[in-house]
Amino acid sequence: MEEQIIKTEYSELMQKAYIDYAMSVIVARALPDVRDGLKPVQRRVLYDMHELGIKYDKPYRKSARIVGDTMGKYHPHGDSSIYESLVVMTQEFKKGLPLVDGHGNFGNIEGDGAAAMRYTEARLEKVTQDGLLADLDKDVVDFLPNFDETEKEPSVLPAKFPNLLVNGSEGIAVGMATSIPPHNLGEVIDATKAYIQDEAITTRELMRYVKGPDFPTGGIVTNKDELLEIYETGAGKIKVRGKVDVEKAKGGKTNVVISEIPYPMIGANITKFLQDVASLSESKKTTDIVDISNQSSKEGIRIVIELRKDADVDNFINMLYKKTRLEDTFGVNMLAICNGKPETMGIKRIIQENVTFQFEVAKRKYTNLLEKEMDRREVQEGLIKACNVIDLVIEILRGSKDRAMAKKCLIEGETKGIKFKTKESSIMAAQLQFTEKQANAILEMRLYKLIGLELDALIKEHEETVANIYRYEDILSRRDSMAQVLINELNAMKKEFARPRRTVIDNCEEAVFEEKKMEEMDLYVLMDRFGYIRSIDTATFERNKETVLAENSYVVFCKNTGKVCLFTNAGQMHTIKVNDLPLGKLRDKGVPVDNISNYSSQKERIILLTGQSEMNLYRLVFVTKQAMIKVVDGGEFDVAKRTVAATKLSENDEVINVFVWKEKSQVVLATKDGYFLKFDMQEIPTMKKAAVGARAMKLSVGDEVDSVHYTDKTSTESFVYQDKEILFSQLKLAKRDGKGTKLRL
């Protein structure tokens, strides 16, 4: 075959390929179908379990077998996604109605993962068999070829209730995501029945039945009045609170007990909640907490926070709502596949699509049942008719040479070649007009059917068949009859599987937390040469001033309401709230500065620690190893972020000195090769913190600034260089950007 080269615009090809990929992810992977509420991987897992016969009343089977069979037959996208889907369908704390019965460790509400698939077992739940997989053998849905066209799989499961609402769904596709909360089965069924009886019903009227989401973790929905708009549009935010009880403890103390958590808190967020509560105490947001304990078990959630005697319990609970995830938001976006494309739908539209689907399934089901009953009636009437002339039938069978001859006689009355005992028998045989199905049934009929009781049973069975035909024809011809059938099935589902609502729907006032104002006081922040930082009060500092100054690299005076700023050689500034530092005694060790800031001692080196309030009053001087210098207004560093770039650095450059400029008027730069340059600080240009700076000194190849010193014109001070004391007055005053003078030591 001759090779063909197709020329096309690259951008068009990429656009088409990306759109195809996006639609594949949206339709075939990430979003559920509005009809059965399942994503493809969930549908395939359930269908595979159905095919393997792993029913609710049968023994459990290894999850690995289910995953392997599903991957090999229907879902060739890796075992992890299949097993994860299986696990989620077993978890009662995630699903309003678990579809799989898991045996073994399938994870827990606190975020611990499931055991490996080789250790766990599973089988279908009864509700899955009765509500999602029933009638699959009656050709009620279309079957499609699998990925390699060796098997057939259902395009959708014949769901008898709106599973999309009952179990909800979460998924991230390309450019879109779905987030549907779970609802109460009984309420959803009542709303579905109401829609079947009145298709003009409004969303407001449907919400008489569906009060709101019913999370498996319980909790309290606090914005009841906003639910109508959310359910009409299919998008919005639901505010959920945990359930809090107050218990009296020993010694007059009070226990705040959390027995239900917001649905978004499940998983690792429970640990995060405990950490947040602990940090409230550590950061002195509250001094009421005595102890925190997580006493949760298989029986349910129980998180106990013990408070001191005189604690304001209501204010503390409001603080939990405001400062932790005990009050959280569930973002609703009811996005699902409808008629082959993604669509955001309200609750009425979801119920409407499911009911329409149920009518289609019921029509196919009863059409097939009617055809089978018609065939059965035809055979039954033939057998009854044959029993009435059984002697003639036996005579035909005995007189025929083969089956074909006997069959032709029964159908067409052809008697040629058949030996009859009497001429009357031949005449009667010529009048027979059985159908082909009846003739086959007569030829296959066993002799015991001629017993009187068996004949009576056949007549009774025929009467039942006729009654079924009448019933099926009525269901197919009248919408009211079919609607009543669907309602009866929904009633049966509700009676067997519905359970009481767990989530309370209410309008709650917004939590108001009165944060105690911090009493302002003067402190000293200390950091030793090992990077441990803490604060002490002014009285302790004054009593031990010499010791404090001798033992610490940095001593900064500031307010407890302020911040200290840490500048590093990497050109970064890290801010630390003074209130976050431990306030202790003189000999307390403090905490590593790495633990309470974004500073990393592995990557950076501290150049300066100073108070933010002091910087706001003055300017800062930056000097780098490659002799770049600049002055920056201190107000530029009054920022809310914990870490900002304090200066811009060239490649392979680093900050070697940051200085708060107050009174000093001259600066001295000393290089590694022994060059010194002294010039007035007025020559240093003022720049923004994002600037690199100006050149302070001309360096020889391989040379770099080693140290920086600040002095005054009349200063008699000195500095040490290579173990030699050098007076500032010895150095000649020059201009910025000069070569400097090399001292002969």
Q: Which residues pair with 679 in a beta bridge?
A: 667
DSSP alpha helices (H): ranges in 283-432? 313-323, 347-388, 390-399, 403-412, 423-430
Q: Please tell me which residue in 18, 21, 119, 470 is annotated as part of the active site.
A: 119
Cβ atoms of 634 and 615 within 8 Å: the answer is yes
Question: Which residues touch 468 (CB under 8 Å, ≥6 apart)?
Answer: 369, 373
How crowded is residue 38: how many other Cβ atoms within 10 Å of its Cβ?
Answer: 25
Cβ atoms of 258 and 541 within 8 Å: the answer is no
CB neighbour class for 613 (10 Å; exposed up to 12, middle 13-18, buried from 19): middle
Distance CA(121)–CA(54), nearest Å, equals 10
- Within a 13 Å sphere around the CA of 436, how many CA atoms are in the beta-carbon half? 1
Distance CA(472)–CA(603), nearest Å, equals 79
Apex 669 CA angle, 665 and 671, nearest 5: 175
Start-to-end C-alpha separation, the chain: 88
Q: Which two tokens stand for residue 220?
A: 């309290």
Cβ atoms of 600 and 584 within 8 Å: the answer is no
Is the backbone of residue 181 left (phi > 0), alpha (psi -120 to 50) or beta? beta
Cβ atoms of 170 and 193 within 8 Å: the answer is no
Distance CA(601)–CA(480), nearest Å, equals 77
Chain centroid offset of residue 325 CA: 16
Cβ atoms of 341 and 259 within 8 Å: the answer is no
- The edge-to-edge listing of strands for the beta sheet with 628-633 is 655-661, 619-624, 628-633, 694-695
Question: SS3 for 218-260, per residue?
Answer: CCEECEHHHHHHHHHHCEEEEEEECEEEEEECHHHCEEEEEEE
Per-position DSSP letters for 363-380, written without gaps between them: HHHHHHHHHHHHHHHHHH
Per-position DSSP letters for 506-518, written without gaps between them: -B-PPP---PPPP
Distance CA(704)–CA(253), nearest Å, equals 65
Cβ atoms of 228 and 204 within 8 Å: the answer is yes
Cβ atoms of 28 and 170 within 8 Å: the answer is no
Residue with tokens 């019921």: 362
The answer to whether 119 is a known catalytic residue is: yes
Distance CA(535)–CA(584), nearest Å, equals 6
What is the set of active-site residues?
119
